[in-house]
Chains A and B, each alone.
Chain A
Amino acid sequence: SAVISQKPSRDICQRGTSLTIQCQVDSQVTMMFWYRQQPGQSLTLIATANQGSEATYESGFVIDKFPISRPNLTFSTLTVSNMSPEDSSIYLCSARAHEGPATEAFFGQGTRLTVV
């Protein structure tokens, strides 16, 4: 199994500012992902963080708003840029430890973001 640590665990930010969320995995992983979970809702995939190349974004999410870095196989960051109250949500990092798609994805504890 993989242990994933995210920080910060929560933050309250002013609109118009940016927040960078860090995700650290305790072992090298093939795939890393970022999800958003609004209160009482499901997990929506934002993007796949690719090591050494640009992230792959899902429909409705763009790089200018959610820039992602993945400098190595154990670390990724998600930035929420130019925040508005609509960005208030829980952001979750996820990783898949083994090669191939048919394995469990693990989650960080989430970052609860409130934009005021």
Chain B
Amino acid sequence: GENVEQHPSTLSVQEGDSAVIKCTYSDSASNYFPWYKQELGKRPQLIIDIRSNVGEKKDQRIAVTLNKTAKHFSLHITETQPEDSAVYFCAATSTGGFKTIFGAGTRLFVKA
């Protein structure tokens, strides 16, 4: 089955700096890669996603890149703000199983 590895587990940055979170997946059949943000006590919320036919996608301060050959994908947050502090999860969804498997999560701290 699919396995998603995510690192770092914790990331602390200064406000205004960039943050990068990296993930790898194992199932070559995976074709959809969402990123979720989860604030304390809240449900996970989608912040950006990318499909396997695209190498990069950007939405304001957030961008995601995908390298299908290497089975790597990354989240980039620029000009970080204190409200970006949360846990971020990468995930992979495969065509065959239709299910989403999550990485271990990255706890991001943005210091004002």
Contacts and interface: CB of A to CB of B under 8 A. Distances in A.
Interface of A: 30-31, 33, 41-45, 48, 58-59, 92, 94, 96, 101-105, 107-110
A82 B104 CA distance: 28
Contacts of B105: 41-42
B101 A45 contact: yes
Given A92-B43, A107-B43, 14 more contacts: A31-B99, A42-B105, A43-B44, A43-B102, A44-B102, A45-B100, A45-B102, A48-B99, A58-B1, A94-B100, A101-B93, A102-B93, A105-B34, A109-B43
Contact of A107 (B44, B95, B103): B44
Chain B binding surface SS class: strand
Contacts of A104: 34, 46, 49
Size category of the B interface is 20 to 34
A93 to B, nearest CB: 10
**Nearest 5 pairs between A and B by C-beta?**
A102-B32, A107-B43, A43-B102, A101-B98, A42-B104
Contacts of A44: 102
B81 interface: no
